[in-house]
């Protein structure tokens, strides 16, 4: 039966062996291509998710009300680890002391690095704030470096640090009208 399939002559046997070898190489190549495309799709999904989480974290970190700190924690909880949430909570006494209120705007986000379980994102925050020392409508901006780790719940901010102090800008509530 095998001789009918591959032949009896040496040339026929060689051709059959070569065809089997080529088919095996093609199957391995297709499997590698499928694995590479799958990894690229996963990498793109991770990149998008890491940027989304870091951007949301930057916006929520700069959105607060000294009278309702629990609202900020509730918004940050799905985005950050418990250690990061504790760090944010430690700032609440200062917010209350200065009667600070801020509304964060969508930040600019830049992916610094990303591997299977860890990423770093640079976030340029913007917010409109007021406190007992700043007039309503004061604009502020800052650079924040977020470190993200993948856990069972997905990507979450595991650490952050301000690279620049938050800089205050013009208060649009007290700005002089343009001269006519």
**DSSP output for 134-159:** S-TTEEEEEEEEEEEEEETTEEEEEE
* Architecture of domain 49-171 in this structure: Roll (3.10)
What is the per-residue pLDDT across 23-75, written as a single tens digit (0 to 9) for each?
888 888 888 877 777 666 667 889 999 999 999 999 999 999 999 999 999 99
pTM summary value: 0.73
Residues 6+ apart with CB under 8 A from 51: 109, 111, 121
Residues 6+ apart with CB under 8 A from 132: 98, 99
Domain residue ranges in the chain: 49-171
Residues 6+ apart with CB under 8 A from 71: 65
């Amino acid at each position: 039966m095998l001789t009918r399939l591959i032949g009896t002559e040496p040339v026929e046997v060689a051709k059959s062996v070569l065809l089997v070898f080529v088919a095996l190489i093609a199957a391995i190549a297709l499997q590698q291509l499928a694995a590479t495309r799958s990894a690229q799709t996963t990498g793109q999904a991770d990149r998008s998710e890491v940027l989304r989480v870091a951007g949301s974290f930057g916006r929520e970190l700069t959105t607060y009300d000294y009278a309702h700190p629990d609202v900020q924690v509730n918004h940050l909880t799905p985005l950050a680890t418990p250690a990061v949430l504790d760090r944010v909570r430690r700032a609440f006494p200062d917010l209350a002391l200065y009667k600070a209120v801020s509304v964060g705007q969508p930040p600019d986000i830049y992916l610094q690095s990303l591997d299977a379980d860890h990423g770093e994102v640079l976030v340029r925050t913007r917010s409109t704030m007021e406190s007992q020392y700043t007039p309503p409508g004061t604009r502020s901006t800052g650079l924040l470096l977020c470190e993200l780790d993948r856990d069972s719940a997905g990507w979450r901010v595991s650490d952050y640090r301000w690279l620049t102090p938050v800089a205050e800008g013009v208060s649009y509530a007290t700005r002089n009208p343009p001269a006519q």
